[in-house]
Structure 1
Amino acid sequence: MNRKKKINQILKAKHKKKNAKLHKTNKPRYVSKAERATLDTQATEPCENNTPDQPLESLE
Protein backbone atom coordinates (compact mmCIF):
# COMPACT_ATOMS: atom_id res chain seq x y z
CA MET A 1 0.00 0.00 0.00
CA ASN A 2 2.75 2.45 0.93
CA ARG A 3 4.66 1.83 -2.30
CA LYS A 4 1.55 2.50 -4.41
CA LYS A 5 0.78 5.64 -2.43
CA LYS A 6 4.31 6.96 -2.86
CA ILE A 7 4.29 6.32 -6.63
CA ASN A 8 0.91 8.01 -7.04
CA GLN A 9 2.09 10.93 -4.94
CA ILE A 10 5.16 11.40 -7.15
CA LEU A 11 3.14 11.12 -10.37
CA LYS A 12 0.54 13.61 -9.12
CA ALA A 13 3.30 16.08 -8.19
CA LYS A 14 4.88 15.78 -11.65
CA HIS A 15 1.50 16.24 -13.31
CA LYS A 16 0.76 19.29 -11.18
CA LYS A 17 4.12 20.89 -12.09
CA LYS A 18 3.53 20.15 -15.78
CA ASN A 19 0.10 21.82 -15.69
CA ALA A 20 1.49 24.83 -13.84
CA LYS A 21 4.03 25.43 -16.62
CA LEU A 22 1.33 25.28 -19.30
CA HIS A 23 -0.86 27.98 -17.78
CA LYS A 24 0.43 31.54 -17.84
CA THR A 25 0.16 33.73 -14.79
CA ASN A 26 -1.94 36.89 -14.75
CA LYS A 27 0.65 38.69 -12.66
CA PRO A 28 2.52 41.47 -14.51
CA ARG A 29 6.29 41.23 -14.95
CA TYR A 30 8.35 42.82 -12.17
CA VAL A 31 10.05 46.10 -13.08
CA SER A 32 12.78 47.33 -10.75
CA LYS A 33 13.02 50.89 -9.44
CA ALA A 34 16.03 51.63 -11.63
CA GLU A 35 14.22 50.42 -14.77
CA ARG A 36 11.14 52.46 -13.83
CA ALA A 37 13.29 55.56 -13.41
CA THR A 38 14.95 55.12 -16.81
CA LEU A 39 11.62 54.47 -18.51
CA ASP A 40 10.16 57.55 -16.85
CA THR A 41 13.03 59.77 -18.01
CA GLN A 42 12.82 58.37 -21.53
CA ALA A 43 9.08 59.05 -21.60
CA THR A 44 9.50 62.68 -20.50
CA GLU A 45 12.48 63.56 -22.74
CA PRO A 46 10.69 63.34 -26.14
CA CYS A 47 7.96 65.72 -24.93
CA GLU A 48 10.57 68.38 -24.13
CA ASN A 49 12.38 67.91 -27.45
CA ASN A 50 9.21 68.27 -29.54
CA THR A 51 8.75 71.95 -28.66
CA PRO A 52 11.78 73.87 -30.00
CA ASP A 53 12.27 77.39 -28.67
CA GLN A 54 14.11 78.67 -31.75
CA PRO A 55 12.53 79.05 -35.22
CA LEU A 56 13.83 76.79 -37.97
CA GLU A 57 15.42 79.65 -40.01
CA SER A 58 17.82 80.65 -37.23
CA LEU A 59 19.33 77.14 -37.04
CA GLU A 60 21.06 77.48 -40.44
Structure 2
Amino acid sequence: MRDRAPRPKGPVDSGDDSNDESGPRRPKEERPNTDDLLRRMRRVDPNQARRYRQRTGQ
Protein backbone atom coordinates (compact mmCIF):
# COMPACT_ATOMS: atom_id res chain seq x y z
CA MET A 1 0.00 0.00 0.00
CA ARG A 2 1.30 3.46 -0.93
CA ASP A 3 1.58 6.36 1.47
CA ARG A 4 -0.47 9.39 0.60
CA ALA A 5 1.24 12.49 -0.68
CA PRO A 6 1.10 15.38 1.82
CA ARG A 7 -1.44 18.05 0.98
CA PRO A 8 -0.42 21.70 0.77
CA LYS A 9 -0.95 23.53 4.04
CA GLY A 10 -2.49 26.72 2.67
CA PRO A 11 -3.65 28.31 -0.56
CA VAL A 12 -1.27 27.95 -3.45
CA ASP A 13 0.63 31.16 -4.17
CA SER A 14 -0.42 32.56 -7.53
CA GLY A 15 3.00 34.08 -8.14
CA ASP A 16 1.97 37.71 -8.41
CA ASP A 17 2.63 40.22 -5.65
CA SER A 18 -0.95 40.99 -4.64
CA ASN A 19 -1.73 42.16 -1.14
CA ASP A 20 -4.45 40.76 1.13
CA GLU A 21 -6.85 43.61 0.37
CA SER A 22 -7.28 42.68 -3.30
CA GLY A 23 -10.61 40.92 -2.75
CA PRO A 24 -14.08 42.42 -2.61
CA ARG A 25 -14.87 44.57 0.38
CA ARG A 26 -17.89 46.29 1.82
CA PRO A 27 -18.50 49.82 0.55
CA LYS A 28 -17.98 52.56 3.12
CA GLU A 29 -21.51 53.87 3.51
CA GLU A 30 -23.38 55.04 6.54
CA ARG A 31 -26.27 52.85 7.57
CA PRO A 32 -29.71 54.46 7.39
CA ASN A 33 -31.10 55.83 10.61
CA THR A 34 -33.75 53.43 11.97
CA ASP A 35 -35.87 56.31 13.28
CA ASP A 36 -36.10 57.69 9.76
CA LEU A 37 -36.98 54.24 8.41
CA LEU A 38 -39.74 53.74 10.98
CA ARG A 39 -41.14 57.21 10.26
CA ARG A 40 -41.31 56.46 6.54
CA MET A 41 -42.88 53.04 7.20
CA ARG A 42 -45.46 54.65 9.49
CA ARG A 43 -46.49 56.95 6.65
CA VAL A 44 -46.95 54.03 4.25
CA ASP A 45 -48.52 51.43 6.57
CA PRO A 46 -48.83 52.09 10.32
CA ASN A 47 -49.56 48.44 11.14
CA GLN A 48 -46.47 47.24 9.28
CA ALA A 49 -44.33 49.74 11.19
CA ARG A 50 -45.70 48.40 14.49
CA ARG A 51 -45.01 44.79 13.47
CA TYR A 52 -41.48 45.71 12.41
CA ARG A 53 -40.83 47.42 15.76
CA GLN A 54 -42.01 44.32 17.61
CA ARG A 55 -39.89 42.02 15.46
CA THR A 56 -36.70 44.04 15.87
CA GLY A 57 -37.23 44.91 19.53
CA GLN A 58 -37.41 48.64 18.93
TM-score (norm 2): 0.26
Greater length-normalized contact order (CA 8 Å, ≥ 6 residues apart) = 2
More helix by proportion, 1 or 2?
1
Larger Rg: 1
